[in-house]
Amino acid sequence: MPLGDCWKNLSWFYYQYLLVTALYMLEPWERTVFNSLLISVLGMAVYTGYVFMPQHIMAILHYFEVVQ
């Protein structure tokens, strides 16, 4: 059953995430706060990269005269 295998893999990856970050020792509300902060920081980093990276890339290309 492909859906069952997918769910099994996702649960295994989540378990690995809990072990690597040592979140398994936290209480559920602490884990929720940590995950919320992590998702917020990652979201802001992706947004900042999406908004500002094209400007920086164009500035670099203009500096090296790749683009006129």
Each residue's pLDDT tens digit, 8-64: 999 999 999 999 999 999 999 999 999 999 999 999 999 999 999 999 999 999 999
Residue 68 lies inside a defined structural domain of this protein? no
**DSSP code at position 22:** T
**Domain region containing 13:** 1-62
- Contact by Cβ (8 Å): 31, 17: no
**DSSP H/E element including 19:** helix 2-21
Residue 47 lies inside a defined structural domain of this protein? yes
State CA 64 to chain mean position distance.
32
HEC-encoded secondary structure of 36-51: HHHHHHHHHHHHHHHH
pTM passes above 0.85: no
Residue 20 lies inside a defined structural domain of this protein? yes
Residue 6 lies inside a defined structural domain of this protein? yes
Residue 67 lies inside a defined structural domain of this protein? no
Number of domains in the chain: 1
Q: List phi, psi (to 5°) of 64.
A: -85, 10
